[in-house]
Structure 1
Amino acid sequence: MKGKKTGGRQKGTPNKDNPIRGYLLAHSIKYFQPNPLNPDGMSDFEKDLLRMLPEDRVTAEIRILKHHTSELKSVDMDMTLADHVETIDERLARLALEDEDDSAG
């Protein structure tokens, strides 16, 4: 039957509380916010980045960016070009002939 629920939760039933999810969310927010105990008030994230080697820092930032930017998909295209490029004069002459043929017929 289309459109009729046959099992599972009732519509509008909230998700169960997950204490681990709440802890991780709170920890993440705290990790990225400025910390007055760090030099220059930087976040723990920034402090950890400064401890890393430059190549490891770039790798870490690229991995983080993957969560914030959409991934582009490749597109196949057929870019076949014609051997003859019609000039403006040639096109006008062709259109004039087509117009004459339409008028005569």
Structure 2
Amino acid sequence: MTEWFEMCPQKARAYGRPVASGFLVREGSTAMREGSPLVKRDREERDRLVRLGVLVPDADPGLYRFSRDHEFNSSSQAGGIVKDGNCSGPQSWRRSRDDKTLKVVLAGGA
């Protein structure tokens, strides 16, 4: 699938798409530094991406920016990093042109 999906939690805006081995988030996408959910199962991975330079400070102090494309294990893990909180990726990533969720598109609801 080559179509891009979008996720916009709070001030962040990220673009991603399914790939054979997971979910790819596009360079230039942004992620929340401090999301609102209290439960953050992906925080350790987020901190690792900051150390590796995949996530770098954005011009907006409330955001990180992806310095390069990055592949995650799943759309939920990618969404959790973008949102800085637990996330159901299939329900959170939406196709820009018609607002259909990744879940609907993958189920054949094109």
Q: Would you say same fold, with TM above 0.5?
A: no
Higher strand proportion (structure 1 or 2): 2
Question: Structure with the greater relative contact order (CA < 8 A, sep ≥ 6): 1 or 2?
Answer: 2
Question: Could you say which structure has the higher helix fraction?
Answer: 1
User: TM (normalized to structure 1)?
Assistant: 0.22
